[in-house]
Chain A
């Protein structure tokens, strides 16, 4: 097994296991407990955990700081970085900062537009885009150089990921776009939350047609629905989200206090179905502000215990 980095996530993939990751959103405050308590809930059920970077453009504790908290309690963090708020100086600098704490995974994103968040009147940066950020991390790691050309002493050694949204438009370029991210150096992919299984399977079929599943580890994004209203909100209000009516109907079909459980059941069923799809290398279980449910989902999906690597 040839490893590019010391990343535990890379090792799980390359040992042939189905990987499991989850997500922690840092708090809107400076209490480290808010991060570590979430970490403790999922610690034994995931191989690595994403730390979001001011998601939905809401100002929060920095992703890097939260990664350090989790690293110090023995978790394997995936540093999310968006290109919205930092230029190439700041991005490279934070990559080095993360590497100094041996944070071995990064996920490169463009980030939601600031108009969704609490600083709609602020500037955005977008000096690089998400693909160029992938290239940047790979350049720093593989060439041991800054974008400016100078040598880096102790280059960052990070396993590099990117996101893919099989459901955004136009559909015809969704697979070419994945190919582009791979060409830029992405080694793992986490997808947008999947609810439209048929459309996702069609995307995977096209991915396999081009052999892309052999070039990158694809993790299917799963988010359990808490209620029928949440499903409706996701369908109508979250850009790039595809929630079929049958999901909403199924949730609405059970009484209110049982909808959350129904949401978990749907999630588990989806994971079990997608486990059979060739080219799926793992699951990214994003239980937003519902981290305590991750263990149940992972266990019931037959993904527990996590392998020792």
Chain B
């Protein structure tokens, strides 16, 4: 899933300042799972903002709503009839949802309420970690199912580098060395001989480097 984190409230206060009628809009997908932008977080944020501006003596209206998804035309249409009531939308969706909203409601100012961080998973409650950088050409078959692009600080394709110590990455003792994990799993899979296969220079054109990407599938287009 897409993992996001809450933005500092001070930053949100600054960005909503110019507006009086604000819709705080959550999303029921990834950001709900990572507890950054679901119904619950919308409630908490909206009341914190109300409280702040009441104390400041300024009259602002914060309404709450959470959509099934903000990255989907269908669900975004559900709020068309109420959009005229607002000067701005504070969206707690990921960067994709915020932008999709902006495209749909072209003349309504959009404010992101979360920082979109990475593609990852819930390690345990309150801890999310990165697993994929969407390189567009997955190599997991050759790396024992562990991604060296998202999980190695230098995205070394033939690792580990000389900084790997006691299973940890040179950048931080709290970060696992991806290549230690790869080697441990190769060993457990009884495939250590594959370690010596040199991974050739990667074609990064399917990654960010190639510019904005599109997946176009004629077979499923209607």
A residues with a Cβ closer than 8 A to B are 83-84, 88, 110-113, 115, 124, 126-132, 135-136, 147, 163-165, 168-170, 172-173, 176, 179-180, 183-184, 192, 239-240
A128 CA to B180 CA, complexed, in Å: 20
Among all A-B residue pairs, the 6 with the closest Cβ atoms: A165-B162, A239-B170, A239-B163, A131-B158, A129-B156, A240-B162
Apart from the given pairs A115-B153, A165-B162, A179-B196, 6 other A-B contacts in the complex at a CB distance below 8 Å? A124-B154, A129-B158, A135-B201, A170-B164, A192-B162, A239-B170
What is the distance, in angstroms, from A81's C-beta to the closest C-beta of chain B? Answer: 14
Task: Tell me if B200 and A132 are in contact (CB < 8 A).
Answer: yes
Task: Tell me if B157 and A183 are in contact (CB < 8 A).
Answer: no
- Residues of chain A within 8 A (CB-CB) of B164 are 168-170, 239-240
- Residues of chain A within 8 A (CB-CB) of B159 are 129
- Residues of chain B within 8 A (CB-CB) of A239 are 162-165, 170
- Residues of chain A within 8 A (CB-CB) of B165 are 168-169, 239-240
Instruction: Type the 1/0 row for B166-189, where 1 means its CB is closer than 8 Å to any CB of A.
Output: 110011000001001001100000
B128 at the interface (CB under 8 A from A): no
Task: Tell me if B170 and A169 are in contact (CB < 8 A).
Answer: no
Given A84-B154, A173-B183, residue A112 in contact with residue B196 (CB < 8 A): no
B155 at the interface (CB under 8 A from A): yes
- Residues of chain A within 8 A (CB-CB) of B166 are 169
Q: Chain A CB within 10 Å — which of B155, B177, B204 has the most?
A: B155
Given A88-B201, A128-B201, A239-B170, residue A168 in contact with residue B163 (CB < 8 A): yes
- Residues of chain B within 8 A (CB-CB) of A165 are 162
What is the distance, in angstroms, from B29's C-beta to the closest C-beta of chain A? Answer: 30
- Mostly, the B contact residues are loop
- Residues of chain A within 8 A (CB-CB) of B158 are 129-132, 180
Given A115-B171, A132-B200, A169-B165, residue A176 in contact with residue B154 (CB < 8 A): no
A136 CA to B201 CA, complexed, in Å: 9
A61 CA to B161 CA, complexed, in Å: 25
Contact size range, B:
20 to 34
What is the distance, in angstroms, from B175's C-beta to the closest C-beta of chain A? Answer: 11
A70 CA to B158 CA, complexed, in Å: 33
Closest to A169 in B: B164
Q: Chain B CB within 10 Å — which of A111, A128, A169 has the most?
A: A169
Q: Chain A CB within 10 Å — which of B156, B163, B167, B177 has the most?
A: B163
- Residues of chain B within 8 A (CB-CB) of A183 are 196, 198
Which of A111, A126, A163, A164 has a CB less than 8 Å from the CB of B155? Answer: A126
A-B contact pairs, 11 of them (CB 8 A): A113-B171, A115-B171, A127-B204, A128-B201, A135-B198, A165-B162, A168-B160, A169-B167, A173-B183, A183-B198, A240-B170
B195 at the interface (CB under 8 A from A): yes
- Residues of chain B within 8 A (CB-CB) of A111 are 154
A110 CA to B184 CA, complexed, in Å: 22
Task: Tell me if A173 and B198 are in contact (CB < 8 A).
Answer: no
Closest to B187 in A: A172
Given A127-B204, A168-B164, A170-B180, residue A113 in contact with residue B198 (CB < 8 A): no
Which of A124, A130, A172, A176 has a CB less than 8 Å from the CB of B196? Answer: A176
Given A165-B162, A169-B166, residue A129 in contact with residue B154 (CB < 8 A): yes
Closest to A115 in B: B171
Given A192-B162, A239-B163, residue A170 in contact with residue B171 (CB < 8 A): no
A245 CA to B157 CA, complexed, in Å: 34
Task: Tell me if B154 and A110 are in contact (CB < 8 A).
Answer: yes
A132 CA to B159 CA, complexed, in Å: 11
